[in-house]
Amino acid sequence: MKKMLALLLAAVMVLSLAACGSKKEEAAAPAEEPAADSDLAYVQGKGTLVVGITEFEPMDYQDASGSWIGFDADMAAAFAESLGVDVEFQIIDWDNKVFELDGKTIDVVWNGMTLTDEVTSAMECSNAYCNNAQVVIVPSAVADQYQDVDSVKSLNFAVESGSAGKAEVEALGATFTEVADQATALLEVSSGTADAAVIDSLMAAAMVGEGTSYVDLTYTVGLNSEEYGVGFRKGSDLAAALNDFFKASYEDGSMMACAETYGVQAAIIAQ
C-alpha cells in the first residue's frame, strides 16, 4: 500500500513539473507585435494634413496674398477636406523628403514628384496621376544650337538637388551645380551663372517663354518621360485613401476642372 502511494505521489509530481514547464514556456513566448498605427487615424486625430512641397508653378506656388495654390496644392486641400482635417503646407529640402516623412514633420510629399524606383522603395506611393518629362532650359538666343541630346552634353547645368532632373544630367555625364529648387535653377540660367537647367516640362510650360517671368528662356530637348505620384510614409493607409479620392474626383470631373485652372489637363492620367 505504501509502495502504491509512493508511486502515485511520484506520478503527480512529474505531471506538476510538466505543467509548470509548460506555463513557463508560455510565459517566455514573445507577445505578438501590435498592429502598426493607422496614418489616417493619426492625421484625423491631430486635425491637420501637413504637405511637404517646394516652390513649383503650376503645382505648388503662392499667390499675391501668400496662399498656396496650384494643381497639387488645390488637390491636397480637397483631399484634406475629404478627411475632415485642415491642410498645412510646409516647404522642405527635397533631398530630405523621406526623413521629413519618417520623422512626422510632414505627412505627405505632394509636389510633382516623379515615381522613380528610389521614391517607390522609400515611400508608400499613390497611383500615378500626371504625365511629365525632364526638359533642357536654355536662353532663347542660343536655343538653335541645342536641339539634341549630344549638343547639350557640354553645358554647365543648374539642377534641383535630389531631383529627377539631376539624375538625367548625371546620366548625360554633364557638369552641374545643385540648387535648392527648380525655380532657383531657372534663375541661375537667366542670370548667366549656369548655361542651362533641367526642370519638369509642366513647370517649363508655365514659367518660360512668352508671357511668363522668363521670356528670355525656352525649352528644347526632352530627356525622358515620367509620371507623378504622391508619397506617404512606408505602409501608410493614406495612400489607399488618396487613390480612392483620385478615382472619385476624376469620375465626378473635379480633378479635370482643377487641372484646367492651371493648364495641365493634357497631362492628367485617367484614374
The tens digit of pLDDT for each residue in 124-144 reads 999 999 999 999 999 999 999
3-state secondary structure of 198: strand
In the predicted structure, residue 8 carries a pLDDT above the cut 50: no
3-state secondary structure of 263: coil
Q: Give the residue-averaged pLDDT of 187-210.
A: 96
Distance CA(42)–CA(45), nearest Å, equals 5
CA triplet 40, 42, 47: central angle to 5 degrees?
A: 95
pLDDT in the model for residue 37: 79
Is beta strand 226-232 parallel, antiparallel or unpaired with respect to 130-132? antiparallel
- Average confidence score pLDDT of the chain: 89
The tens digit of pLDDT for each residue in 59-117 reads 999 999 999 999 999 999 999 999 999 999 999 999 999 999 999 999 999 999 999 99
> What domains, with CATH codes, occur in the chain?
39-131+228-267 (3.40.190.10), 134-224 (3.40.190.10)
| pTM for this prediction | 0.80
Stronger pLDDT, 176 or 30, i.e. the higher one:
176
> 7-16, 45-54, 63-72, 167-176: lowest mean pLDDT where?
7-16
Cell triple for 232: 506617404
Q: Cβ atoms within 10 A of the Cβ of 242, count?
A: 26
